[in-house]
């Protein structure tokens, strides 16, 4: 991975660049988690790339390295209730904005993975596949993924019947079968296909014969 995207931004006078990415848009349960990371100018971290291309052990190692080396790290969370209330895209953008606002220093520019920018007063750029093209976005990808995985493992202890520690809320065959068997729990996204079919249906009012 090169630093060409960061170098282009810095050539325009943007010194503090925050990479922003999320984890958890697709699962049937749990939050969407976003991270924002500002790395020192010119820093290269060996092995850092899109979190989806890394093993769990590699992500954990890089998570520690990023926190050690970064100038600032912010994390934002939108829970499953927020996802259901505003939809998954808007919940993701809210989590990204929250992560950015939690940075200990104000970035000069945001570099955001994907096609969408967020509600933020400064300059920003959305980059498709940015998590594999831009180092600071890759760092945010790892932080978001490891943070969310830890949240799902904690959730698994509260709701052991669903196996969240294995699939992290994604729609695996095992997870779908558990939803069918046990019904959704409060952490499931009630507007998602694969969950909403198993919600309790309200009883229809009974009409008396002589009413």
Residue 155 is assigned to a structural domain of this protein: no
Angle at which helices 135-158 and 56-69 cross, to 10°: 120
CATH code for the domain in which residue 65 is found: 3.30.420.10
pLDDT at 206: 62
Give yes or no for a contact between 182 and 189, defined as CB atoms under 8 angstroms apart: no
Residue 23 has pLDDT above 80, yes or no: yes
Encode pLDDT of 152-161 as tens digits. Answer: 999 999 999 9
* Assigned domain for 177 exists: no
Domain containing 67: what range? 4-150
Please, what is the average pLDDT of the chain?
94
Distance separating alpha carbons of residues 161 and 166, to the nearest angstrom: 12
Residue 196 lies in a domain: no
Summarised one tens digit per residue, pLDDT across range 159-185 is: 999 999 999 999 999 999 999 999 999
């Amino acid at each position: 991975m090169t630093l060409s995207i960061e170098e282009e931004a810095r050539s325009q006078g943007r010194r503090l660049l925050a990479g922003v990415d999320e984890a958890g848009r697709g699962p049937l349960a749990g939050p969407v988690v976003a991270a924002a990371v500002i790395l020192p100018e010119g820093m290269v971290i060996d092995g850092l790339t899109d979190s989806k291309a890394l093993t769990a052990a590699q992500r954990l190692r890089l998570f520690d390295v990023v926190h050690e080396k970064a100038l600032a790290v912010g994390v934002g969370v939108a829970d499953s209730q927020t996802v259901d209330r505003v939809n998954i895209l808007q919940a993701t953008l809210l989590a990204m904005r929250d992560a950015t606002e939690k940075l200990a220093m104000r970035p000069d520019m945001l570099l955001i993975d994907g096609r969408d920018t967020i509600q933020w007063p400064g300059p920003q750029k959305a980059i498709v596949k940015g998590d594999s093209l831009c180092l600071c976005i890759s760092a945010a990808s790892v932080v978001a993924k490891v943070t969310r995985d830890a949240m799902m493992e904690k959730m698994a202890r509260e709701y052991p019947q669903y196996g969240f520690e294995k699939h992290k809320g994604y729609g695996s065959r095992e997870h779908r079968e558990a939803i069918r068997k046990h019904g959704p729990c409060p952490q499931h996204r009630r507007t998602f296909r694969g969950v909403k079919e198993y919600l309790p249906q309200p009883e229809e009012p009974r009409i008396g014969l002589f009413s």
